Amino acid sequence: MADFKLNGLVAAPFTPFHENGDLNLTPIEPYMNLLLADGVKSVFICGTTGEGPNMTLAERKSLAEKWVQVGKDKLEAVVVHVGCGNLRETIELAKHAKEIGASAIASIPSVFFKPKTIDLLVDYMREISLAAPDLPLYYYHIPGLTGTDFPMYDFMEVASTRVPNLAGIKFSHVETVDLMRCLHQFGEKYQFLLGTDSLLLPSMTFGSEAFVGSTYNFCGKPCNRIIAAFKNKDLESAQKDQFKFLAMVKIIVQYGLNVATQKAMMSLSRIDLGPTRAPIPNTSAEQKEALKKDLTEMGYFEWIN
């Protein structure tokens, strides 16, 4: 566990559903192969993009088992998000992830009864940690959805001494100063996974090395080009792809910055993974056609291939 480290792009996969809303595991293997073809070698499943909170425990277990099964000897890592609305179910999923051979786990805090202090948040994460002591554990910091928003630097000062298998934080927030401070103070031992896709290039200037995101499902090639160009000190090429990426993000925002819009993009770009689940609004046929038109006009389909 001490040597575990995520590198480069980590896709946050969409969860495939049948048209009636039932879980559909059939596309997982061809989906994985498409990611690998785009140079994306790790996945972070059952998170926000994967609609983990919209799934039952049994469904989340089945999905995790499938990804671990098809990813064996192919993917570098399968990270399972185990966070639920309560600690008991979170612990159940953490133990299951260990049993099936997941690479690591991650968790949000509880979102109805929220931890009111950093100490309470650390206590919560420690309980998850003790349920799967041999698995690296990432705290999933996404305050826009969880409503729990402490400075992660302050969290790390406490958690680093009390959560034995803490691996770091999935940092899905635009507070880059906090991220920079974490990387500077704790970066040698812990990982801070960038979870805000649009900050890919700038985040590398202050030390980010692993990036978890929804757009890497269909933008693996250009985002890998950004990483390679930055490492080769070719800032002009990196900026060119980064600005193209931001143009794509602007279109995503225009159609609703939600899972359904990006799932529609996945259908247009790579593979059809079915609808989203309520209360996430699905993209209509008319919206999808308009989305395709806007993406075509910006050169998206050539750019991602």
Residues 6+ apart with CB under 8 A from 117: none
Is 255 annotated in the active site? no
Indicate which residue of 124, 140, 190, 216 is catalytic.
Answer: 140
The CA distance from 182 to 196, in Å, is: 16
The CA distance from 150 to 196, in Å, is: 17
Pure H helices in 45-105: 57-71, 87-100
Indicate which residue of 41, 66, 170, 244 is catalytic.
Answer: 170
The string of DSSP codes covering 209-252 is -EEEESGGGT-HHHHHHHHHHHHTT-HHHHHHHHHHHHHHHHHH
CB 119 within 8 A of CB 103: no
Residues 6+ apart with CB under 8 A from 70: 28, 29, 32
The CA distance from 216 to 238, in Å, is: 16
Is 170 annotated in the active site? yes
Looking at this protein, which amino acid is placed at residue 201?
L
The catalytic residues are 140, 170
